[in-house]
Amino acid sequence: MLDLGVEPSRGIRKPDLIVKDVPNAIVDFGVKTYNTWRERRDSTTAAALVPSIAAQPATAWAKSTDAESLPSAHAVSVIEIPRHEERPGGIRFGALVHAALATVPLDADPPTIERVLSRFRSLGREEKMQALVQYAKKLEPVPDRFLALDRAAFTVPECQTREDLFPEFADGKLHFYADVNTRQSPTIAAFLSILFSAINGQPPETTLAIPEDFVRTIMDSLGLGTREVGLNAMLTRVKRYAEDAARAA
């Protein structure tokens, strides 16, 4: 049988809290404190709803009356550069360009061998192929003063196609040029462009410090293993020129 009229034992009931005997001064102070807090909360919420900065696209702002009211607005020249037909594009290439620019200090010295290797280690196969295409177009042409020389002394016989490497040593700095058919051997041209970007204008010691796995790091994952023999031969020739320059210094 259940006992009727038994008070439940489930903590303190709300009426018990309300009816407790508390001095009116304490109750009034509590109500005042609560109301003050609530007013401050509402005021803060209302202020947060008002944006402190009004952002808008530059095109929309330029068409507004605010832009016309600027007394010191300077005229901006717009220069349009025609797009090259063979220029790579797409989302992935754009991401590659922005990733590269984000890590390039614009006031830096020419790239070191380690920076070149670090960059190519971070690239996937497609990104490497796109980078090679761009580097192939940057290969510096051979000056006329070298064209009259006996090419036999500068040819790298291990290459499948004829490649001539010309060293120039002046004021303690080395500079290399390569006579390469870019259309016939774009991979060779790209590799030499990458290599020269790190060692041209540097002392012979920079060239001699190139690690043995330089070719493999640049060409890894491209499926161009047959090219590594010729590329390593060119690297060996470049180092030989650097050794001669170091002895002559």
Asked if residue 73 belongs to a domain, the reply is: no
Q: Per-residue confidence of the chain (249 residues) as pLDDT tens digits?
A: 667 766 666 655 555 555 556 677 777 888 888 889 999 998 888 888 887 877 777 777 777 766 556 555 567 777 777 777 777 777 887 777 777 776 665 554 556 777 777 777 777 878 878 888 888 888 888 999 998 888 888 988 888 788 899 999 999 999 999 998 888 888 888 888 888 988 999 999 999 988 888 888 777 656 565 678 888 888 999 999 999 999 987
User: Which structural domain, as residue segments, surrounds residue 185?
Assistant: 111-248
Supply the CATH number for residue 185's domain.
3.90.1010.10
Asked if residue 53 belongs to a domain, the reply is: no
Asked if residue 212 belongs to a domain, the reply is: yes
The amino acid at 25: A
Asked if residue 231 belongs to a domain, the reply is: yes
The amino acid at 170: A
Asked if residue 199 belongs to a domain, the reply is: yes
* Structural domains in the chain (count): 1
Asked if residue 20 belongs to a domain, the reply is: no
Asked if residue 70 belongs to a domain, the reply is: no
Asked if residue 233 belongs to a domain, the reply is: yes
